[in-house]
């Protein structure tokens, strides 16, 4: 109910529509220029659980503290990814932000599943205090411990304290909008196919939100 009136929300590809007396229609194209600018720089999210290591690419990261001596971050991880379950189980992860010259890691970390192979094999890392691996060659890293989590249906939003971190390079990190212009066409096609499959899954699950409070490990 909204203002005493029944509100019906419809979801279908390319358009969002809320009906309230036939008003308030919205095309996704109207908000796409805004939504597309809310993504973060590319980060390799590393995790460790029960002797196993994994890494995935993420672009949904934000600072979550205004207190300089107590930094926090918020990270969204989708439930279809192995990393999601590992972070949920371990209560820890590390964010390793990539440099513009590290496009190859998008293919290594983002186009294959950790269920198929060890994606960190042969990659230079060191152990962080959270147990997650830290890339020794990247723009910079943040080692994090989860302090709360919110179920988003198709994903989980993790709030975490930053335990340790360091900037390793000058300039700017790698952004997806810039990476898209440089990646091979084959990689972009694979990324789009992967994204299309994940969007289909998200449409079916994003409304299935659990409200059980998160419990620390």
pLDDT in tens, the chain (217 residues): 334 444 333 333 444 444 444 445 788 899 988 998 888 999 999 999 999 999 999 999 999 999 999 999 999 999 999 999 999 999 999 999 999 999 999 999 988 888 988 999 999 999 999 999 999 999 999 999 999 999 999 999 999 999 999 999 999 999 998 998 999 999 999 999 999 999 999 999 999 999 998 887 6
- Looking at residue 116, its pLDDT comes to 86
Would you say residue 182 lies in a domain? no
- Looking at residue 2, its pLDDT comes to 36
List beta partners, residue 145: 92, 161
Would you say residue 54 lies in a domain? yes
Number of domains in the chain: 1
Tokens at 155, concatenated = 């994903």
Place of tokens 């152990």: 127
Q: Please give the residue range of the domain that contains residue 146.
A: 38-175
- Looking at residue 24, its pLDDT comes to 55
- Looking at residue 50, its pLDDT comes to 94
43 within 8 A of 73, measured Cβ to Cβ: no
Would you say residue 33 lies in a domain? no
Tell me the C-alpha distance between 47 and 36, whole Å.
27
Would you say residue 73 lies in a domain? yes
∠ CA 28-29-31, nearest 5°, is 70
- Looking at residue 83, its pLDDT comes to 96
The domain that holds 63 is classified in CATH as 2.30.110.10
- Looking at residue 11, its pLDDT comes to 39
- Looking at residue 134, its pLDDT comes to 98
């Amino acid at each position: 109910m909204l203002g005493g009136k029944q509100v019906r929300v419809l979801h279908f590809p390319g358009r969002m529509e809320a009906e309230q007396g036939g008003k308030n229609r919205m095309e996704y194209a109207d908000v796409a220029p805004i939504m597309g600018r809310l993504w973060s720089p590319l980060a390799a999210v590393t995790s460790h659980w029960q002797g196993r290591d994994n890494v995935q690419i993420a672009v949904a990261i934000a600072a979550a503290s205004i207190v300089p001596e107590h930094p926090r971050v918020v990270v969204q991880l989708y439930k279809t990814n192995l990393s999601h379950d590992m972070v949920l189980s371990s209560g820890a992860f590390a964010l390793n932000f990539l440099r513009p010259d590290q496009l190859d890691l998008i293919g290594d970390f983002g186009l294959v599943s950790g269920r198929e192979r060890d994606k960190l094999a042969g990659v230079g890392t060191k152990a962080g205090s959270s147990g997650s691996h830290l890339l020794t060659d990247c723009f910079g890293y943040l080692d994090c411990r989860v302090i709360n989590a919110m179920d988003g249906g198709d994903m989980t939003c993790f709030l975490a304290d930053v335990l340790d971190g360091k900037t390793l390079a000058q300039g700017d990190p790698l952004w997806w909008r810039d990476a898209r212009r440089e990646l091979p066409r084959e990689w972009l096609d694979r990324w789009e196919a992967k994204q299309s499959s994940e969007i289909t899954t998200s449409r079916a699950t994003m409304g299935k939100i659990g409200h059980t409070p998160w419990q620390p490990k």
